[in-house]
Amino acid sequence: MNEKYDVIVIGAGNAGLIAALELVKSEKKVLVLEKNNVPGGAATSFVKGRFEFEAALNELCEYGTKENPGEVYKLFEKLGVNEKLEFNNTLEAFNVYCRDTSMHYEMPFGINEFIAKMEEYVPKSSEALKKFFYLAEECKNAIFYLEENKEYVDTNYLKKNFPNFLKVATSNVDKVLDILKLPKKAQEILSTYWLYFGSPTSTLSFVHFASIVYSFISKGSQIPSKKSHQISLTLAEEIEHLGGEIKYLSTVKEILFKDKKIAGVLLENGDIYETKHLISNISPNTLYSNMMPEPLIPSSAIKLTNSRVLGARGFSIFLGLNQSAKDLGLDNYNYYIYDSLNSEKEYQNMSNIKNTSCVATILNNVVNSASPKGTTIMHFTKLFMGDTFSKNITEKNYFEIKDKIAEDIIDDFEVTTGIVIKPYIEEIEIKTPVTYAKYFDTPDGVIFGYKATGMDNYLPRMISLDEENYIKNLRFCGGFDVKLSGYCGTYLSGDLAARLTLKDIKMEGSDE
Ligand SMILES: Cc1cc2nc3c(=O)[nH]c(=O)nc-3n(C[C@H](O)[C@H](O)[C@H](O)COP(=O)(O)OP(=O)(O)OC[C@H]3O[C@@H](n4cnc5c(N)ncnc54)[C@H](O)[C@@H]3O)c2cc1C
């Protein structure tokens, strides 16, 4: 007899773990199947020499603090895991270097502090910036209202309480910042964080950008004291403690159907597990192309998936340095190294293999004990779009190319900041889109889901959630889903997928 579960979750990434925990808390019989030997997907750590490196997390948005909690804090509170975790506030919002003007801007957290600092860099920017934050807060509240009242949206309430949100709901960032008359230089500094959206401000949804930047500046960003693996491990332990099962080294090969309805999954090792409800923490691209019989995939699902653009591919350099950050002069937490503050130009650079724009973080400046005393952990994240990386490599030149990219990034960091790090490298680990494709099984080593651009962003995806639920009892979660990528989006997306699945189970009960 094959074992039967109320729900099977494919993948133990951030979203899969949250979905599973929420379901076991609702007393469902849950199985999580994970192809790797540890939970977390990207949210993990790895050891090299005497260093344990954080594998992904630079900034966790929407956690906040007990006094000023964000959506992730509230979710973790609901799931009862906050007291098992310890977080530290990062130092500054952005510390950005632009090579074209040789300028360097350091922006603090806190809305008043942010506005005051901007006024120093860009005189006469504060009134427009105040308007931006006012509007950004309204957008955030409007999104919250829409999410909570999706079944019945009271348009009069919407018009009365969120009139400005309605005016900007379909606009891009540039358009709204121009309307607010924010000076161009202040627009560019404010938009430093665009990189994590993977879309230039000319096509990035204002509502999406503003609501995240509002949370980021007002609540700060946090990182866990024992790397993000601590969060993943805590979630996994809690699932198992409450009776859920997680099977590692268990790669799902095929979704099984009976009478065109979800019936279970087949693993690569031949095991079969039965269920009527699946949650996929892996992308629709992977699921539809490799794991389902084609005739059972509705053509609208294929059309939608094909219409979406894959987001940024990741290239990371992890350095273990044999000096303290203080001795090296690495005083900040984050270093954005851009050719220019113009996001359109920088976005074009993401298609140039030789470009060295990147963001670097210094873990020890937030978590003192992140590595042995007198050492430093430094992490560079570089993003490429499309096939920029893959078209330049062959099996033969792979190591040469990746080493060259890493060397150029480190050299240019030193030249731009004047901080010397190369002689102090004790350990180096380079991860490329090939590594990420292999580890997460994401298409092309994408690390930020689908590009959130034009009309394909959070708000329209959320509004069409019901119409896009193409296969009964199959729900998606994670970086490729409605709440977009990043730790915050994926945790919240796991929560949403669990709630929708509970609703599906209830509906099924009333059908029978
Ligand atoms: C270098 C880097 C830096 C980043 N920096 C930040 C940051 O600073 N802030 C931020 O918010 N976000 C950041 N991110 C993005 C963030 O890490 C991701 O958006 C998020 O972790 C993705 O979570 P997910 O739930 O979509 O699952 P994933 O992490 O993609 O996990 C999916 C899981 O499914 C498993 N799986 C795949 N196929 C199968 C199969 N067939 N059978 C069973 N299991 C399968 C995989 O092994 C994996 O464990 C970064 C990512 C990277 C890589």
Closest C-alpha to ligand 1, atom 49? 41
One-letter identity of residue 239: I
Closest C-alpha to ligand 1, atom 51? 56
CA 140 – ligand 1 centroid, Å: 25
Would you state the pLDDT for residue 458? 85
Q: Per-residue pLDDT for 512 more than 60?
A: no
Q: What is the pTM of this model?
A: 0.96
CA 509 – ligand 1 centroid, Å: 33
> Strand pairing partners for 313?
384, 446
Closest C-alpha to ligand 1, atom 27? 13
Give the nearest ligand 1 atom to 11 CA: 34
Give the nearest ligand 1 atom to 436 CA: 53
User: What's the mean pLDDT in 133-150?
Assistant: 92
pLDDT band of residue 334 (cuts 50, 70, 90) is: very high
User: What's the mean pLDDT in 451-463?
Assistant: 84
CA 325 – ligand 1 centroid, Å: 28
User: What's the mean pLDDT in 155-163?
Assistant: 92
User: What's the mean pLDDT in 273-284?
Assistant: 97
Closest C-alpha to ligand 1, atom 32? 13
**pLDDT averaged over the chain?**
95
- Percent of the chain whose predicted confidence (pLDDT) is above 90: 89
Q: Per-residue pLDDT for 490 more than 60?
A: yes
Give the nearest ligand 1 atom to 487 CA: 11
User: What's the mean pLDDT in 55-71?
Assistant: 95
With a Cβ cut-off of 6 Å, ligand 1 is lined by 10-16, 33-36, 41-43, 56-59, 251-252, 281-282, 314, 316, 381, 436, 440-441, 447, 478-479, 485-488, 490
Q: Per-residue pLDDT for 112 more than 70?
A: yes
Instruction: Provide the Cα torsion 400, 406, 410, 413; round to 10°.
Output: 130
pLDDT band of residue 393 (cuts 50, 70, 90) is: very high
Query: First-to-last CA distance in the chain?
Result: 24
Testing ligand 1's pocket by substitution, the residue of 58, 266, 480 carrying the most ligand atoms inside 8 A of its CB is: 58
One-letter identity of residue 144: F
Give the list of residues 6+ apart from residue 60 with CB closer than 8 angstroms, or none: 72, 87, 221, 222, 223, 224, 228, 487, 488
- Please name the CATH architecture into which domain 3-85+225-308+453-511 falls: 3-Layer(bba) Sandwich (3.50)
pLDDT band of residue 468 (cuts 50, 70, 90) is: confident
Closest C-alpha to ligand 1, atom 34? 11
pLDDT band of residue 254 (cuts 50, 70, 90) is: very high
How far apart, in whole angstroms, are the C-alpha atoms of residue 339 and residue 334?
16
Q: Per-residue pLDDT for 511 more than 80?
A: no
Testing ligand 1's pocket by substitution, the residue of 336, 490, 491, 496 carrying the most ligand atoms inside 8 A of its CB is: 490
How far apart, in whole angstroms, are the C-alpha atoms of residue 105 and residue 107?
6
Parse the chain into domains and list their residue ranges. 3-85+225-308+453-511, 112-218, 312-385+390-431
> Strand pairing partners for 87?
224
Distances 239 to 112, 242, 423 between C-alpha atoms, Å:
41, 5, 45
One-letter identity of residue 93: A
The SS3 call for residue 32 is strand
Would you state the pLDDT for residue 466? 79
Give the nearest ligand 1 atom to 291 CA: 41
Would you state the pLDDT for residue 469? 84
CA 235 – ligand 1 centroid, Å: 15
CA 111 – ligand 1 centroid, Å: 30
pLDDT tens-digit readout, 196-226: 888 999 999 999 999 999 999 999 999 999 9
Q: Give the least confident one: 197-201, 215-219, 244-248, 262-266.
A: 197-201
CA 158 – ligand 1 centroid, Å: 35
Closest C-alpha to ligand 1, atom 13? 486
How far apart, in whole angstroms, are the C-alpha atoms of residue 404 and residue 410?
10
Give the nearest ligand 1 atom to 431 CA: 1
Give the list of residues 6+ apart from residue 197 with CB closer than 8 angstroms, or none: 204, 208, 209, 212, 452
CA 14 – ligand 1 centroid, Å: 7
Helices and strands (H and E) in the chain: how many: 18, 20
pLDDT band of residue 507 (cuts 50, 70, 90) is: confident
Please name which of 224, 241, 244 lies closest in space to residue 82, comparing C-alpha atoms: 224
pLDDT tens-digit readout, 223-235: 999 999 999 999 9
Q: Per-residue pLDDT for 148 more than 90?
A: no
DSSP state of 338: E
Which pair of tokens denotes residue 151? Answer: 């079944």
Q: Per-residue pLDDT for 1 more than 80?
A: no
Would you state the pLDDT for residue 510? 62
Would you state the pLDDT for residue 463? 81
CA 485 – ligand 1 centroid, Å: 8
CA 391 – ligand 1 centroid, Å: 23
Would you state the pLDDT for residue 61? 94
